[in-house]
Structure 1
């Protein structure tokens, strides 16, 4: 059982008095300390639906004891490893400072054709100095602990919980010297009885995206679930759940998007249980029209765990029934030609398990990189499913 040090008091994680203490600590902006090791690790307090929870600090997961529920697998197994210290820096307060590859302002003629940095992502496959738009989405998912799953959470993770996790994660990040939470817009779950309150909060949140009519246009970042795509004059519009308005996207950007994310769109359309999540930079014109500048997408399953092939989804489905925790690995800036861990089982004994799925297209370079990755983490047991060899191997 975890223990937390708050001020000069130590609490067991199931102590009845902890909830009230967390509320006071949240107001006082105190950081709890996890006592899973002799040198306690700083945490932060997140507020979710008027409840208070202790969350790990960005990039602190591997530092926790393997028996601690805040422990995370080594980042070198995913696309995050090469970004730490380059595109992601942790300051003295524990905030993660992000270096972004994409623009947060737009110069030039308003209404000019938008471009998508994701269209040229292949050129960035070894780039470690800045985060692509997709990498920011992956990092928000990772820091929000949305890559983790155990069977006891079934039915408890909807968009409301996802939204809160993303906002809490963004509150621990900065981009270009400003809080990421100031420019991140995540739609609130719509409730008819609170429609006026939701509309007011939404208008306040979107104020920074409004076109001032002079100088460079400020852009915001949105993360939302795609409901549908529809044809519009000169382009397309993206309908996002829980929003009363669509996002407009230029025809050229739409064509690049369709080509770049053909696999994700195909997976999403294959099952009603899957969700398509987008992250985009956008601005709002003087006429009140929200237009996308750059966009990236990922597909997630019914538990909001990302996956990139139907084989990976089959593995996630098998693991979702187990009580032990599983952690999904993400690519960030890496291309599909480079191996990353698919899923880790950090609580497996006698040693944590790193699970890899090798695609049919894998060649010698892929296998060499995979072997090097496995050799670099001898404390973990590898589990490998080579798709070309047939059915899924037995689970550990």
Structure 2
């Protein structure tokens, strides 16, 4: 049971009374408080598919009692750990101020063809000072609670739910002195009966990234699902779902992108059930053509959970049938040769479980790094699958 205090009243989080309170509390911008600990833990109200829900503040999962449904194991287990206090700074209200390792402005009017050689995703590295474009996508996914899953949610998570979760997450973030939600575009699910309304909202959202002259111009981030990549004359285009125009990308940069994200593309193409997520910075020329400046990719399964290889996919499949919640760990800026948590079982009794997959290629250095991660979090129980030793161990 989770008790929430809001507007001076304390009620059960699952009670009809709380659900009745939330719409007005949302309008009044009241702060819910989870009473699982003393002092109480701040939360916030999000609107999701015409429902009002209470969500935990960014990175506050560890502040809740382990028996609380809002509890999350320490973020040091994933690639998020090195970023906290550096690239991601949380203020007293729970809002996250982000330092970005990519530009949201473009000087001049030259085409994307002139982008520098490393124009695709800048720096997938263990740099803690700023968020790479891939790390930005991972943080939106985690803050939007899209890394969480239990069997009761099967069939309830589509692009509409994903979009709302991303927008809600962005509403709790700032970057470069402004709300991140003003810098992020996530396409709406297309509905023929609301075609004109969707077009009007899209035009309003993208108004600021249309080029108007030769001076510096604003860029935005887009997060969307890739439908296909295709060649067009000398360049390539990225066709994304629910968007009536493609994102143009110069041929040479596309080739570097395809090389850098070869694994993600191979996994995506292996099954129609998987989705490929693109995050890119983009602008729109005076001719009305949308061109990306920097781009990163992430593959997710049918439940929109990210995975890096077939071993992670197999574990996620096993976990997807559990009634208890599991949480997928993400890499953020860290390279693939650095061990991170694959998933956690935060509701496992008597203590949460951290799940690690050790690749067959891992050597002594990797094993030592893994041991250091485990030793630093004695409050959890480790579960380890060493791929070189054979089949997956039994789940806890």
Relative to the length of structure 1, the TM-score reads: 0.97
Aligned twin of 1:162: 162
Shift of 1:20: 2.5
Other structure's SS at 1:69 match: coil
For residues 350-390 of structure 1, what are the alpha-carbon distances to aligned partners after superposition, in whole Å with 9 as ceiling and x for unaligned? 22111101112212211110011111111211111111111
Aligned residues: 394
Q: Is the 8 A contact 2:319 2:326 kept in 1?
A: yes
Aligned twin of 2:363: 363
Q: Which moved more, 1:152-161 or 1:87-96?
A: 87-96
Other structure's SS at 2:16 match: coil
Shift of 1:6: 0.6
Q: Is the 8 A contact 1:114 1:294 kept in 2?
A: no
Q: Is the 8 A contact 1:183 1:208 kept in 2?
A: no
Aligned twin of 1:385: 385
Whether 1:63 and 2:63 are equivalent positions in the alignment is: yes
Alignment RMSD, CA only?
1.1
> Pairwise mapping of residues 232-381 of structure 1 onto structure 2 (< 5 A)?
232-381=232-381
Other structure's SS at 1:225 match: strand
Which runs of 5 or more structure 2 residues have no equivalent in the other structure? none
Other structure's SS at 2:321 match: coil
For residues 219-276 of structure 1, what are the alpha-carbon distances to aligned partners after superposition, in whole Å with 9 as ceiling and x for unaligned? 0000000000110122100010011111001112101110110000000000011000
Aligned twin of 1:12: 12
Aligned twin of 1:121: 123
Aligned twin of 1:95: 95
Aligned twin of 2:204: 204
> Pairwise mapping of residues 74-93 of structure 1 onto structure 2 (< 5 A)?
74-93=74-93
Relative to the length of structure 2, the TM-score reads: 0.97
For residues 139-198 of structure 1, what are the alpha-carbon distances to aligned partners after superposition, in whole Å with 9 as ceiling and x for unaligned? 000000000001011110000000000000000000101100001000000011111111
Which runs of 5 or more structure 1 residues have no equivalent in the other structure? none
Shift of 1:316: 0.3
Q: Is the 8 A contact 2:148 2:328 kept in 1?
A: yes
Q: Is the 8 A contact 1:268 1:274 kept in 2?
A: yes
Q: Is the 8 A contact 1:134 1:333 kept in 2?
A: yes
Other structure's SS at 1:257 match: helix
Other structure's SS at 1:206 match: helix
Aligned twin of 1:177: 177
